Amino acid sequence: MKSGIRVTTLPNGLRVATDPMPHVATVTVGLWIGVGSRHEPDAANGVAHMVEHMLFKGTPTRDAFRISAEIEDVGGHLNAYTGREHTTYYAKVLKEDLPLALGVLADMVQHSLFDAGELEKERQVILQEIGQAEDTPDDIVYDHFLATAFRGQPLGRPILGTAEVVGALPRPALTDYVAGRYVPANMVVSAAGNVEHEQLVELALRLFTDLPAGDGARAEQARYCGGDFREERDLEQTHVILGFDGVGSHDPDLYTASVLSTLLGGGMSSRLFQEVREKRGLVYGVHSFTWTLADSGVFGIYAGTGPERVGELVPVICDEVTKLTATLGEEEVARARAQLKASQLMSLESTTNRAEQLGGQLLVYGRVIPTSEVIARIDAVDAAAVKRVAGRIFGSRPTLTALGPLAGLEAYDRVAARLA
């Protein structure tokens, strides 16, 4: 991704970026904002996500219905999400509706009312969302995993917040958060699809005139801790995540860690899938993942199994981890490289994916990374590099998280000893 891409910085510091795809009839346009739950004050966990919800609830010129209806009236799609480091608002529309879509997004971000009545209604919606997450063990186990991996830190807090905090967040907590963090220097307007750069720049100059000044907020340095968390629940399955200290977005081992994750648990031909599911029938689903941050990251393995099999599952996973460096060959690495390259190139067929890559790269790296550079870095990964990074990652203190029936799960020290 680079050919045809253009980036312009407006006088107020807002970056405007386009990735043209003239052969399509649509465009995805959005605001990528470099703040998330790790930028929240301790006493306001959940405010970033609550702000995201409230920006859909009305401005002086559009009520909540009009915000969504104006996009849907032309067949478009409007959405948003909050992460630990970024918050995103975006719309996908036909190319001729780009001015409408960006106008709605600009209005939401700059002029939302945070009406007291709407706030109380949305508070109840979010409390229901928190309850739903708690009732979804294969979802909430990830929150417990991060809370253990980054114990006592903003990164370890749930994006949704807790019911206790969200239930009491006052309106000024939301408006102060926006005023201090939704600033031009920390934002990117990104569009991909049938879009002309000059048109988007002109629109942004006209529409984004009321953003607050400032340089955003810095996040507390991440410190991976590791450790053990387990919660007994009356469930049909025990949900387990075994994780390790990983790599950050700027780490030179970033792509090697991705190759490692792919060959270990990234597909049906991966080691974990073949050994844990195909050969032993211990699980329906098992996979590994890398989660990168600006200054840190984690490498994890998720699996869910019946309580009578968890005593066998975790030792098998540990065995796959410990034997990897001794048994890895170039053919296996080549297959993982091919999977990663194909995934990267296939993602470029989507306007939304391309707009997201463009906005995210400018926030994280301050530049657009050409697809050719990404492919070259993947191609440079060989078996020796994977073995080295596996030693680095799996040599860290493990994080073990489990929800469900726990009687068969080994003690943390025993699991750690298997990995030593």
Alpha-carbon gap, residue 156 to 174, rounded angstroms: 21
Query: Is 52 a catalytic site residue?
Result: yes
- Please answer whether residues 181 and 38 qualify as being in contact, where contact means their C-beta atoms are separated by less than 8 angstroms: no
3-state secondary structure the chain: CCCCCEEEECCCCCEEEEEECCCCCEEEEEEEECCCHHHCCHHHCCHHHHHHHHCCCECCCCEHHHHHHHHHCCCCEEEEEECCCCEEEEEEEEHHHHHHHHHHHHHHHHHCCCCHHHHHHHHHHHHHHHHHHHCCHHHHHHHHHHHHHCCCCHHHCCCCCCHHHHCCCCHHHHHHHHHHHCCHHHEEEEEEECCCHHHHHHHHHHHCCCCCCCCCCCCCCCCCCCEEEEEECCCCCEEEEEEEECCCCCCCCHHHHHHHHHHHHCCCCCHHHHHHHHHCCCCCCEEEEEEECCCCEEEEEEEEECCCCHHHHHHHHHHHHHHHHHHCCHHHHHHHHHHHHHHHHHHCCCHHHHHHHHHHHHHHHCCCCCHHHHHHHHHCCCHHHHHHHHHHHHCCCCEEEEEECCCCCCCHHHHHHHHC
Q: What torsion, rounded to 10 degrees, do the Cα atoms 30, 34, 37, 38 define?
A: 160
Residue 389 · residue 336 · CB < 8 Å = no
Pick from 388, 399, 398: which is nearest to 420 by CA?
398
Catalytic residues: 52
